[in-house]
Amino acid sequence: MFGVEGGGDRMALSPLLRLIFGATVQERRREFAKALDGQLPTAEQMLQLGRMTGDAIIEIRCRTRDPDLVFALADAFHCLPSVMFAPEFKWSWFLLILEGLERLYPEVGRRYIAAFDEVVGFHAEPGAAPDPAT
């Protein structure tokens, strides 16, 4: 659709679109998160991460008829409350976890990635290349 070529999970943006737009939104988000690695969440970010975790727990409670989604949400958020205080915390790690959730459950995962963007202050440029379809 957007000049996507290749196959499998790692589809590449066409060379023409890459030349025009540069990195995709997903690639820019990953670079942004990687640049934050080594920085512990601020007090406000900890509150927002806590709200994300609380939202995930509520969603787990409401989705009992979909055990695979319940497991994916629990897997994504189970250790966040303890690791966000640790010096080893990495924003890029948490983003990878959310991207895994998005691969399994696109609608749910996109919502948590949007919340992640808000927590870290990531805003994709209006002319950024679209993410390739997977």
Q: Which two tokens stand for residue 106?
A: 């696109």
The mean pLDDT of 40-48, rounded to a whole number, is 96
**At 24, is the pLDDT very low, low, confident or very high (cuts 50, 70, 90)?**
confident
4 or 55, higher pLDDT: 55
Helix/strand/coil for 21: helix
**Is residue 73 within 8 Å of residue 60, measured between CB atoms?**
yes
Bridge partners of 5, per DSSP, are: 12
Whether pTM exceeds 0.75: yes
**Residue 90 gets which letter from DSSP?**
-
Q: What is the pLDDT of residues 103-127, one digit of tens each?
A: 999 999 999 999 999 999 999 775 5
